[in-house]
């Protein structure tokens, strides 16, 4: 079924189920350019056991993207050079492309520490603090996903949170300093359709977050141990983060303040890998799509105050706009893959 027809059917679906559960997978660029950049940073293992675990997590990420259009950068896996890993990371971020619509994913795999109100990620050689990383990425004008799977990673939420970013940490505070398993489970989830809650054949950051947390919970329960890690996700720029327990399925079930901006909306649209058999959208099409979806969310919130006919007329117009975007993408992909006629 092509996306154009699906969008048309979506008008009826949304009318009965609500837009909050209907999510388009995020895709950027064309086949001859990167759809995303992934920076894998493997920290100091400390012991052979931890080093092997971190290497396996990094390999999971690499296996996910090896046949994709994601551009992969790695740090900490090769032999130690004269330039420290910290300085190499700073140099790479300084030279990263900006502005651009291509998402940048930064994944930290390793140990973390928290002392004297300073959170750090342990690199080979000098470590990098949350405030340093925040300063380095501050000039970058592009969508970003940062996943810190280390222990004591919670304060990275406070330091790195900003509009246009999705931040995920393995712990809710710096005091959760024991070895964290969340990062390994997240790496597994981001490339597994078992985490695809909305069955759109793509796994979003939000879905991977939920799947990884469920796996963490299962691990500690099976070991009859009290969990020493409680992951957070932040995508609204408020620097507070939202825990796993606040979600029921893909929806927030616990809200302390009704005026509070909720996390999860942006994370639900960010995917590392595109859905199978789905035409990619161009950067400007993604911006248009996000704007239309925001209009639909606003309309959804106003439904109770509108006449039914006016509501569905407005919804239909917005859905048709979405349909035209995906129809254009389908036609562009069909033209690109058509076999040239022989003379």
Residue 35 DSSP label: S
Which of the two residues, 33 and 315, has the higher pLDDT score? 315
The whole-chain average pLDDT of the chain stands at 84
Average pLDDT on 261-273 reads: 86
Of the pLDDT bands very low, low, confident and very high (cuts 50, 70, 90), residue 220 is very high
At CA 273, angle to CA 197 and CA 147, rounded to 5? 80
Residue 196: count other Cβ atoms within 10 Å of its Cβ. Answer: 19
Annotated domain spans of the chain: 3-19+279-336, 36-269
* Confidence category of residue 27, pLDDT binned at 50, 70, 90: very low
* CA distances to 68, 144, 242 from 105, in Å: 15, 6, 20
Q: What is the dihedral of CA 162, 168, 171, 175, to 10 degrees?
A: -30
Give kind and range of the element (H or E) at residue 42: strand 36-42
pLDDT at 255: 52
**Residue found by looking up tokens 């000098």 in the block:** 126
Residue 285: band (very low, low, confident or very high) from pLDDT cuts 50, 70, 90:
confident
Higher pLDDT, 336 or 195: 195
Fold category of 36-269 in CATH: Rossmann fold (3.40.50)
Residue 6 pLDDT: 44
pLDDT tens by residue, 88-129: 999 999 999 999 988 999 999 999 999 999 999 999 999 999
Residue 225 φ/ψ, nearest 5 degrees: -125, 155
Question: By C-alpha distance, which of 338, 334, 330, 337 is closest to 281?
Answer: 330
Per-residue buried b or exposed e for 129-166, using 16+ beta carbons within 10 Å of the residue's own CB: bbbbbbebbeebebbbbbbbbbbbbbbbbbbbbbeebb
CA distance 55 to 216: 19
pLDDT band at 290 (very low <50, low <70, confident <90, very high): confident
- Cα distance between residue 69 and residue 52, in whole Å: 27
Share of the chain above pLDDT 90, in %: 60
- pLDDT score, position 294: 80
The C-alpha torsion from 300 through 190 and 177 to 236, rounded to 10°, is -20
Angle at 143 between CA 331 and CA 133, to 5 degrees: 155
pLDDT at residue 50, as a whole number: 96
Whole-number Å distance between alpha carbons of 73 and 70: 10
Task: Read off the pLDDT of each residue in 165-175 and give the average, rounded to a whole number.
Answer: 97
Among residues 307, 341, 319, the alpha carbon closest in space to that of 8 is found at 319
């Amino acid at each position: 079924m092509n996306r154009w027809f699906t969008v048309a059917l979506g008008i009826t679906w949304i009318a009965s189920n609500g837009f909050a559960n209907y999510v388009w997978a995020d895709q950027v660029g064309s086949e001859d350019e990167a759809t995303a950049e992934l920076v894998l940073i493997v920290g100091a293992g400390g012991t052979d056991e931890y080093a092997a675990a971190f290497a396996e997590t990094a390999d999971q990420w690499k296996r996910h993207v090896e046949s994709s259009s994601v551009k992969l950068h790695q740090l900490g896996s090769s032999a130690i050079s004269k330039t420290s890993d910290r300085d190499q990371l700073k140099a790479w971020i300084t030279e990263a492309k900006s502005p651009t619509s291509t998402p940048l994913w930064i994944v930290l795999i390793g140990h973390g520490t928290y002392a004297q109100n300073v959170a750090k990620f342990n690199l080979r050689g000098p470590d990098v603090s949350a405030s340093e990383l925040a300063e380095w990425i501050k000039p970058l004008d592009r969508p970003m996903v940062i996943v810190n799977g280390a222990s004591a990673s919670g304060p990275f939420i406070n330091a790195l949170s900003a509009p246009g970013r999705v931040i995920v940490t393995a712990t809710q505070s710096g005091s959760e300093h024991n070895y964290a398993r969340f990062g390994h489970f997240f790496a597994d989830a981001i490339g597994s359709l078992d985490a695809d809650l909305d069955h759109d054949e793509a796994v979003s950051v939000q879905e991977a977050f939920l799947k990884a947390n469920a796996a963490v919970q299962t691990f500690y329960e099976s070991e009859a141990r009290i969990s020493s890690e409680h992951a957070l996700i932040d995508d609204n720029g408020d620097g507070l983060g939202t825990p796993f327990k606040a979600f029921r399925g893909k929806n927030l079930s616990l809200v302390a303040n009704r005026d509070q901006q909720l996390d999860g909306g942006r994370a639900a649209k960010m995917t590392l890998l595109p859905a199978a058999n789905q035409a990619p959208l161009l950067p400007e099409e993604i911006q248009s799509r996000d704007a239309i979806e925001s209009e639909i969310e606003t309309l959804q919130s106003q439904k109770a105050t509108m006449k039914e006919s006016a509501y569905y007329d407005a919804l239909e117009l917005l859905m048709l706009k979405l349909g035209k975007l995906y129809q254009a993408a389908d036609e562009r992909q069909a033209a690109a893959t058509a076999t040239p006629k022989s003379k």
